[in-house]
Homo-oligomer: A and B are copies of this chain.
Amino acid sequence: MKRIDFQTEPSRYRHWRLTFDGSVATLTMDVDPDGSLFEGCELKLNSYDLGVDIELADAVQRLRFEHPEVRTVVLRSGKEGVFCAGANIRMLGRASHGHKVNFCKFTNETRLAIEDASANSGQRWLAAVSGSAAGGGYELAVAAEHIMLIDDRRSGVALPEMPLLAVLPATGGLTRLTDKRMVRRDLADVFCSTEEGVRGRRAVEWRLVDEVVPPSAWEAKLHERALQLAALSDRPADTRGISLTPLQRVFGDDTIVYSHVRVTLDRAQRRANLTVIGPQGDLPGDLAGVHAAGAAFWPLVMARELDDAILHLRLNEPELGLVVLRSEGDPAEVLASDELLEVHKDDWLVREIRLYLKRVLKRIDLTSRSLIALIEPGSCFAGTLAELLFAADRSVMFAGVRDGDNHGPASLHLSDMNFGAYPMGNGLTRLATRFLGEPDSFAEARARTGDTLSADDAEAMGLVTFALDESDWVDEVRLMLEERASFSPDALTAMEANLRFAGPETMETRIFGRLTAWQNWIFQRPNAAGEEGSLKRYGSGQRPKFDPQRV
């Protein structure tokens, strides 16, 4: 398979159209059947694959940064009689296990980004369901704040995955039924067992949609609702967005070089080395400067590059099971950047940058690769970048100076950004999650915000896993990385998915924990993935053959 590229822009969209009318944008899904990432998979009936979702994710992102004036996003279909048929089944039947799992993960992240826009960004999504919204199609609608369904005796919503395909509605479908729509469990059971789904009044009674509207009133009511939602927004009235300019990046055989992120791929050792580079003396001095810098403002460009690099590794480099995180730069500059983000947090653009950093860090939490952070002389793990340490499975810090290196000793710095700006999916900050059992350690970390912390400080405070001096560093780090690469990739995936998310569960963590884990299981079971299973036999005219044993 060709490299999957997560960068796109509206002029290159094949599957979506964006139009604007004052405070209301309309995003129309009109999938090009011939535009699949997989050769020979025809994307009929607005069914989608990862390529379609990459465009959707881009639209979600640009609407927020490039269109501060947009307060409501209307999601609708450009095809007659169908809203969206969900993930393309032929693609699911053909894709590798790893691709399927990462495809679902990315689509889930996009749905959550839509909800994040509605909840935190003053940009509410309104799903206008005309035609059939089935499976992932209904799951897409359920990500919206409000769902309208046209009452034309044909249009309806359905989650037919279980009866039709012997898999789950796993782009959040089951979890949003119980946790967001709070559908009664026996009605949810009936709904999810019914291929044809539910239409009209009953869809409202069962809490599956928010309202049904007769065809004669459809466009007027849609317009009215869009304006009502827009009226709730706190987005600024008269301002211009920034342009998310194309990323600077160069792919080599074993390198990806961005302006502030550098990745080297060590295939022999099965690991990627990812280095984040701090601001280089070019931070703006005030809010006007932040707006003028736009996409070049360090936290934003760094976040976009980091996001792209992580997604690239997930989908295109499945054999690199370990990501070693490093940073380079001046901690004072990272702290100065954090200061801008904190002082101006009520500004719409700064808010978007903070929310985007939150999402990128969550993407890292959810990345199924072992993450080991190395804090070395010359690094700048401060504030926002220190979150990378706390996202890592382990962190090791170099104590003292390196022989022949003119950098001073490595230091670690906390800022206000470590105490609320970037909650994990579980609703807690990474530090609060880390110190669930150690309230004193949490209080000490808070008290020492702004201090320059040495390796010994950081180890004593529980902020890093180990501090090692030069005599131990080379061998111990090498052994640790080699040992990690020797373990079963699956066991690591599952272990990390448990240990990273201590404490409370939310709808979001339940989607990636309970729901996704069960779907991944099904994607391995012969009843779905086997030669006689449902995914392989779908559309062949042959019925799947099921092993009747329950487990």
- Which residues of A459-496 are within 8 A (CB) of B? 462, 465, 483-484, 487-496
A257 to chain B, nearest CB (A): 23
Q: Is the CB of B178 within 8 A of A369?
A: no
Contacts of A551 in B (CB 8 A): 97-98, 101-102, 318, 368, 489-490, 493, 520
Q: How many residues of A contact B (CB 8 A)?
A: 92
A95 to chain B, nearest CB (A): 11
Q: Is the CB of B168 within 8 A of A495?
A: yes
A160 to chain B, nearest CB (A): 11
Q: Mark A534-550, 1 if CB is under 8 A from B, else 0.
A: 10000000001011111
Q: How far apart sit A170 and B377, CA to CA, in the bound complex (Å)? A: 39
Q: Is the C-beta of A437 less than 8 angstroms from some C-beta in chain B?
A: yes
The chain B residue with its CB closest to the CB of A317 is B550
Contacts of A519 in B (CB 8 A): 494
With most chain B CB atoms within 10 A of its CB, the pick from A102, A488, A491, A527 is A491
Q: How far apart sit A371 and B504, CA to CA, in the bound complex (Å)? A: 29
User: Which among B368, B502, B528 is the interface contact of A490 at CB below 8 angstroms?
Assistant: B528
From A44-52, A60-68, A182-190, A398-406, the one touching the partner chain is A182-190
Q: Is the CB of A499 within 8 A of B177?
A: yes
Q: Mark A89-113, 1 if CB is under 8 A from B, else 0.
A: 0000000111001100000000000
- Which residues of A375-420 are within 8 A (CB) of B? 392-395
Q: Is the C-beta of A223 less than 8 angstroms from some C-beta in chain B?
A: no
Q: Is the C-beta of A119 less than 8 angstroms from some C-beta in chain B?
A: no
Q: Is the CB of B534 within 8 A of A494?
A: no
Q: Is the CB of A527 within 8 A of B174?
A: no
A51 to chain B, nearest CB (A): 20
Contacts of A175 in B (CB 8 A): 498
Q: Is the C-beta of A234 less than 8 angstroms from some C-beta in chain B?
A: no
Q: Is the CB of A184 within 8 A of B489?
A: no
Q: Is the C-beta of A210 less than 8 angstroms from some C-beta in chain B?
A: no
- Which residues of A281-308 are within 8 A (CB) of B? none
Contacts of A96 in B (CB 8 A): 549
Task: Name 20 interchain pairs, CB-CB below 8 A, sorted by A.
Answer: A98-B551, A174-B499, A178-B498, A178-B502, A181-B437, A182-B436, A186-B465, A187-B465, A207-B437, A369-B550, A488-B546, A489-B527, A489-B550, A490-B522, A490-B525, A497-B518, A505-B505, A505-B514, A517-B517, A517-B520
Identify the 8 closest CB pairs spanning chains A and B, nearest first: A182-B437, A166-B488, A517-B517, A178-B502, A505-B505, A494-B518, A513-B514, A524-B524
- 14 A-B pairs besides A491-B522, A521-B524 with CB distance below 8 A are A98-B551, A167-B491, A168-B495, A178-B503, A182-B502, A184-B435, A187-B465, A489-B549, A494-B519, A494-B521, A501-B514, A505-B505, A518-B520, A524-B524
